[in-house]
Amino acid sequence: MLQNVKVILEDQKLGFGNVVKTTVFLTDLADFVAMNEVYAKYFTTDFPARSTVQVSALPRGAIVEIEVIAHF
């Protein structure tokens, strides 16, 4: 998921340091620790504001979806 975000950011000449807010949607909050470990590999400094919520389902059977707001 975050690798896809990286490609989109780079296409706009941005990086994870430009991200100001993320919303993480999980189908099971029990996956939060595992998600957070991966998240920390991409967001290493100046952490953006983040909301995490549990949802009943995501498209195509995904277990996580991450919405990102970035600035120039």
* Spatial CA neighbour of 1 closest among 50, 72, 63: 63
Q: What's the rounded Cα separation, in Å, for the pair 46 and 43?
A: 8
Answer whether residue 46 shows pLDDT above 90.
Answer: no
Answer whether residue 32 shows pLDDT above 90.
Answer: yes
Is there a contact between 66 and 5 (Cβ–Cβ < 8 Å)? yes
What pTM, to 2 d.p., does this model score?
0.91
Length of the chain: 72
pLDDT range class, residue 45, cuts 50, 70, 90: confident
Is there a contact between 17 and 44 (Cβ–Cβ < 8 Å)? no
Question: Is the alpha carbon torsion for 7, 63, 39, 66 positive or negative?
Answer: positive
Q: How much is the average pLDDT of 52-68?
A: 97
Answer whether residue 56 shows pLDDT above 90.
Answer: yes
Question: Going from the N-terminus, what domains does the chain have, and what CATH number goes with each?
Answer: 2-70 (3.30.1330.40)
Each residue's pLDDT tens digit, 12-31? 999 999 999 999 999 999 99
